[in-house]
Amino acid sequence: MASRTRYSIGVDMGGTNLRAAAIDGEGNLLGKVSGSTNLGEGREAVLNDLVSGIRALRERFGTGELAGVGVAVPGFIDIQQGFIVGCNNLPQFDGFPVRDEISRRLGAPVILENDANAAALGEKWLGAGRGVNDLALLTLGTGIGGGIIVRGRVLHGFVGMAGEFGHMTVFPGGNPCGCGNNGCLEKHASATAVGAMARLLQLGDNLTSKDVLEIAQGEGEPARRASAVFETMGTALGIAIANLVNIFNFPLYLLSGGPLPAWDYFAPAMYREVEKRSFTWRNTKTRIEKAALGGEAGLFGAAYLPFLELES
């Protein structure tokens, strides 16, 4: 028998594959499907896979009980028009009216959200930010994305591009970034940046942040150099977070992504910078913590979007 529970469907187009989940209003996962399509296979394949995943869940859990569909996508989005404006992972979706196209194929309304914003919302709903209405999440991956939650909702800015923490300037004259700036946070504190710094220090080519952590946990000169990489990363993060603390006075800042297991190596430098640069930090009980949902955060956040819309 199909469930009679009211539920929503969240879709995450982030990473390399599509995932969709049916989740009820209390955050219970009812069912999940993973798309077989690699995002590199082109727009039509991705759209077909996405829509068939949603349909499969809708048939299983009931059309009448469906509160709505939320879709998290990588890249910049134009929230009003439902476009992906710029996205390295999905070039064929650039400027494409993805929200309306999915909605047309499904015959149901769709809410679009940037994947990092969705992740922040997921953490607020069911993760490390549960019960906290004002927070920021920084996702340390290939680049650094982020989401800002104010009064329980995503802060979008005027077109939906708010929360691009990765392009905050932390070292004027630092490493050049694809965005046109120099010294962006993501050039000094992303998982990619950790690997790049390790290479510059001759620790090896194509290292992941996990590889660099393993070297840091070893002994001798390479361990010292690997530790220095995380110290630089922590310094950059601390400068960025101090600015956020000074601007927002949120009680909670969350970090997620590949370099998180290296917390003990980068956090001392991070805390040192925040302590030094933020009066607000020194005089409040502000917290910086690890996010809790890992790769599921965006999926849960996407599913939360329709429930939020029903509340408003």
Residues that bind Zn ion (CB under 5 A): 167, 177, 179, 181, 184
Give Dmax over CA atoms of the chain in angstroms. Answer: 63
Q: Whose CA is closest to 265, among 226, 294, 211, 207? A: 226
Q: Please state the closest distance from residue 175 (CB atom) to Zn ion, in A.
A: 9
Nearer to Zn ion, 166 or 298 (CB): 166
Report CA dihedral (219, 224, 229, 232) to the nearest 10 degrees: 140
Nearer to Zn ion, 89 or 92 (CB): 89
Q: In terms of CB distance, is 124 or 187 closer to Zn ion?
A: 187
**From the CB of residue 173, how many other CB atoms can be counted at a distance below 10 Å?**
8
Residue number, 172 or 220, with CB nearest to Zn ion = 172
User: Are 135 and 124 in contact, with CB atoms under 8 Å apart?
Assistant: yes
Q: How far is the CB of 184 from Zn ion (least distance, A)?
A: 3
Minimum CB distance to Zn ion smaller for 46 or for 184: 184
Min dist CB 193 to Zn ion, Å, is 11
3-class SS of residue 281 = helix
Based on the number of CB atoms within 10 Å of its own CB, is 262 exposed (0-12), middle (13-18) or buried (19 or more)?
Answer: buried
Contacts with 304 (C-beta within 8 Å, 6 or more apart), sequence order: 8, 10, 23, 70, 121, 122, 125
The sign of the dihedral angle between the CA atoms of 183, 185, 187, 193 is positive
Q: What is the dihedral of CA 79, 181, 187, 12, to 10 degrees?
A: 10
Give the shortest CB-225-to-Zn ion separation in angstroms.
26
Q: For Zn ion, which is the closer residue by CB, 174 or 204?
A: 174
- Min. distance of Cβ 166 from Zn ion in angstroms? 6
- Kindly state the smallest distance separating residue 135's Cβ from Zn ion, in Å: 23
Cα 262 to Cα 145: distance, rounded to the nearest angstrom: 19
| Choice between 66 and 184, CB closer to Zn ion | 184
Shortest Å distance, C-beta 304 to Zn ion: 29
Instruction: Compare residues 194 and 299 and give the one whose CB is closer to Zn ion.
Output: 194
Which residue shows structure tokens 């499969």? 56
Burial degree of 160 (CB within 10 A; 0-12, 13-18, 19+):
buried
Helix, strand, coil percentages, rounded to 5, for the chain? 45, 20, 35
Closest contact distance (angstroms) between CB of 148 and Zn ion is 18
